Amino acid sequence: MTEPLEVATTAVTGPRTFPFSAPVGLAIDPVFAELRENEPVSRIRLPHGGDAWLLTRYADNRALLTDRRFSRAAAAGPAVPRLTVEPAGGSALSMMDGAGHARLRRLVAPAFSVRRIERLRPRIDRLTDDLLTAMLETGPPAELLEAFALPLPITVIWELLGVPQGNRDHFTGLASRLLSSTAYTRDQVQDAVDELSDYLADVIAERRADPGDDLLSELVHARDVDDRLSELELVTLCGTLLGAGYENVANAIANFTVLLTEDPSLMARLRAQPELVPNAVEEMLRYAMSGLGVSAPRVATEDVEIAGVLIRRGEAVFASLPSANHDPNAFADPDRIDFDRRATGHLAFGHGAHLCLGAVLARVELRVALAAVVSRIPGLRLAVPLDEVPWKLGLTVRGPRALPVTW
């Protein structure tokens, strides 16, 4: 009889409470470096659902994101460790595997192709110019999120989807509840889900009656004519695209501004060498701590050994993309912002089948926004000391809640 395979394991400490610290500022928590060095596969205790594994090294994270032995779909439901108050539903694109995930992704991928997004660039240019002109005429001082960082990506994604522009403050308030980790109760989150779902159902009904040249009309056609997705998938997908289409870009614009005003030499360098803007965007995406430090959970579908640690079938695993982006084995001197660095290969947008669908759009928006801010507001600085900037707390995202600036 063949002896069972023995898998070597390393000793691990008890689970650390995650997040390791409050999401204030953009410097990566030193605990990630400690874990990369001494315990690259470690146990963490999430705010909801219990304990899971955390990977902190670049190579392990990159491998995890393409390893089919780890399932997103199996991570749907209330029993899986998670950051969010409300458990992820199986109809969300981010929580699908294999053929189901590929089916929905094929429906929306053409709208986010390089060619399609380049056709949007003139509109992004005009919108950026208009928003900055209005901000400059009104201020100083100004609140950068309200005047620029939020309305730019929200307007772009609303127009791309074909969603009527409504009350931005009300929409972002509802959307922020869906990102709640500890800021809102489950009832408050569910109320927001219900209200947004009803709103999207009404917009979908309008597109059925009067289709246009927009992504939502294409998705309604795919639902009604081609039967390529369910009604629940249609509503969920639209909600995901709306929320993801603005939140990360708005945070990045604000976070980039914080980094540049903390070190005015970086701002001066971009003003003198605007051709560095694309590199600067990639480098600041790599450097800035994004979110709370973990991606969506994956569940092992069989026993798997990573870095000498046995992860058993049914156990949840989290990738840490910020930690991977600060791994000195992948990026030399990773805790320094270097606009000359070729930061290709960073994992800010993920990797593999679940690579962020909106990465091309986000890059264009960030390059346009950064170039315009640097060239049009040479004296840009924070209007309050950095330690007085309020940060988003209790959510799964990281960034200033408000960013007062002057010039």
- Distance in angstroms (rounded) separating the CA atoms of residues 261 and 259: 6
In the chain, the amino acid numbered 106 is R
| Domain map (residue ranges) of the chain | 16-406
| CB neighbour list of residue 373: distance below 8 Å, 6 or more residues apart | 132, 148, 253, 257, 380
Cα distances from 226 to residues 134, 170, 218, 286, in angstroms, run 44, 34, 11, 40
- Distance in angstroms (rounded) separating the CA atoms of residues 335 and 326: 7
pLDDT per position as a tens digit, 261-299: 999 999 999 999 999 999 999 999 999 988 999 999 999
In the chain, the amino acid numbered 276 is L
Per DSSP, what are the bridge partners of residue 300?
70
Output the pLDDT for position 4: 33
Which residues of the chain fall below pLDDT 70? 1-13
**Burial 360-374, CB ≥16 within 10 A → b, else e:** bbbbbbbbbbbbbbb
CATH architecture assignment, domain 16-406: Orthogonal Bundle (1.10)
Q: How, if at all, do strands 70-71 and 51-55 pair?
A: unpaired
Q: What share of the chain is helix, strand, coil (3-state, %, to 5)?
A: 50, 10, 40
Helix runs in 147-276, H state only: 151-161, 168-178, 186-209, 215-224, 231-262, 264-272
